Chains A and B, each alone.
Chain A
Amino acid sequence: MTEATIAHRVSPVQAARHSLTLAWRNLVQLKSNPGELAGFVIQPLIFIVLFVYVFGGAIAGDSASYLQYALPGLIAQSGVFSIMATGAGLNQDITNGVFDRLRSLPIARSAPLVGRAIGDLVRFGASLVILLGFGMVLGFRIHTGPLSTVAGLALVVLFGVGLSWVSMLIGLLAKSATTVQLFSGVLMFPITFGSNVLVRTETMPGWLQSWAKVNPVSHLSTAVRGLLTGTPVGSSVWWSLAWTVALTVVFAPLAIRAYRRKV
């Protein structure tokens, strides 16, 4: 099926409605699955407790000041973790036949992909708010204004959009869910932990420092930290945006091509 022949059959309004219906499905899955919902709410809390209260004292002397440092980093890092689920979800739909069912319906060809992306971004946005909320209950203080805070969260969501293309590509190409997990893991750990999310990079050996400095998650975490707590932002906001654009430019065409092959 080529795009040209589809265009006159499904209007953009209908296509948007199809995508939103599928995003709804994605969110209902979460709502009707108590285990997943609990995990969704509790995971941020576990991250805070683990990193701030278990390691915080050793890293920063006291956990209160470490919370102030680490929470923005955790917010940036959670983006990577949640968005990797997009590919896994897509892959699952393909392997268990749901994708074929959707393709056999007279709906916009793009809807299954767009719907999943939208649904996952909404989930992700909610998880950011939960993370920030928990942090504030435990003593995290925003030193900037609401506008700056929103800008910080928006930056993370935007980066999530860029990253979701990578995730989708993995989900579309992988033969099984296990492969998706393996690939996502290999990708996730260097970019989340090899960064300034949890520690200042000055303490790392030189080779790791040079990676941590170019790592997009480092830039993102510096940017969020600055936008929330008023520490110097430098060029980190621009780097984060540049990475978002770069990921999109490189991976969106690849993911869309892989998707077209499936559709």
Chain B
Amino acid sequence: MYAIEAEGLVKRFGATTALDGVDLFARSGTVLGVLGPNGAGKTTAVRVLATLLRPDAGSARVAGFDVVRQAHEVRGVVGLTGQYAAVDEELTGTQNLLLVGRLLGLSRRDARRRSAELLERFGLADAGGRRAKTYSGGMRRRLDLAVSLVGRPGVLYLDEPTTGLDPHSRNELWGIVRGLVADGSTVLLTTQYMDEADQLADDIAVIDHGKVIATGSPDELKAKTGGQTLEIRPADPDAVERVAVVVAELTGVAPTVRGQRLSAPVADPAVPAAVLRRLDEVGVPVLELALRLPSLDDVFLSLTGHATGDANGNGTGRVS
């Protein structure tokens, strides 16, 4: 049973094609991570699914309602939290929640109760009487999320919910998202952070240049990239070069060197033990040796030929 089913979505803005036939499926009660760099079409896809944009072609159903023909019904079941916290800065936290509660038809009393409940749940109870203008970035995001939950939506869109947040606020938000899913909500989460998708998503759709280029669970995607990666760090910083020679000889590939850490893809499971033995023979003590599945960063790189994020985004830089 799918809460979100989108097929062949196309959206053009003038000469730019933002969505070029996007298919997205989110199973009820799960998190679908939509992963891609800036400008890949993630936000456009969310805006179509939230009825804010009309697709030029293709169709989408949310909780069984068509986003074009039954837009009003769709609005009744979805909650939207954008990249930029869309709260009224001139109003207090409580007033922001009351406003939406009243617009959704709650009585004054019910709207008050719901506001208090959400402020409490999102750790904003003490700040409820303050204007949103005075909130920190993390508080604003939490308020924004709280506002989108006033109507208890079954489907929630989180468009890059942690972009620009500090690690602590990010962890808090991840906890909240897990809680929502545990309560039965379906979440569509867009992100350009691999670890975020890895942490939260049950399924991932990788999107680039307006197209879905891969789908699957995080583990499936990692498996698609094939083999594992050997990571190794010698105790003596000066030994890096000697280690590189050994690794290259045994794996057949020159390892990537980052500081004192070397990594190389391995296909043969016997290689790590062989590397360790050889290093022991030549007298190079090893501080760290690990065998890991490829990260989603590796996956993205191998799928698209360029790293995630934009040039000055998360530091990985664009290859193209």
Contacts and interface: CB of A to CB of B under 8 A. Distances in A.
Given A100-B80, A100-B82, A32 B90 contact: yes
Nearest to B68: A1
Interface stretch (B69-77, B117-125, B224-232, B282-290): B69-77
A22 B104 CA distance: 12
Main secondary structure of the interface of A (DSSP, over half): helix
Nearest to B54: A1
B96 to A, nearest CB: 9
A14 B102 CA distance: 11
Nearest to A89: B90
Interface string A235-261: 000000000000000000000000000
A28 B132 CA distance: 13
A129 interface: no
Closest CB pairs A-B (n = 3): A97-B86, A106-B75, A29-B90
B22 interface: no
Given A21-B102, A33-B131, A100-B80, A106 B72 contact: yes
Interface residues of A, number: 28
A9 B87 CA distance: 26
Interface string A160-182: 00000000000000000000000
B51 interface: yes
Given A28-B91, A97-B86, A6 B99 contact: no
Given A1-B71, A18-B103, A25 B88 contact: yes
Interface of A: 1, 5-6, 9-10, 14, 18, 21-22, 24-25, 28-29, 32-33, 36, 96-98, 100-107, 111
Interface residues of B, number: 33
Interface of B: 47, 50-52, 69, 71-73, 75-76, 78, 80, 82, 84-92, 95, 99-100, 102-105, 131, 147-148, 151
A29 B88 contact: yes
B72 A98 contact: no
A105 B90 contact: no
A35 to B, nearest CB: 10
Contacts of A14: 105
A28 B129 CA distance: 13
Given A21-B102, A104-B51, A104-B75, A32 B91 contact: yes
Nearest to B80: A104
A15 to B, nearest CB: 11
A104 B92 contact: no
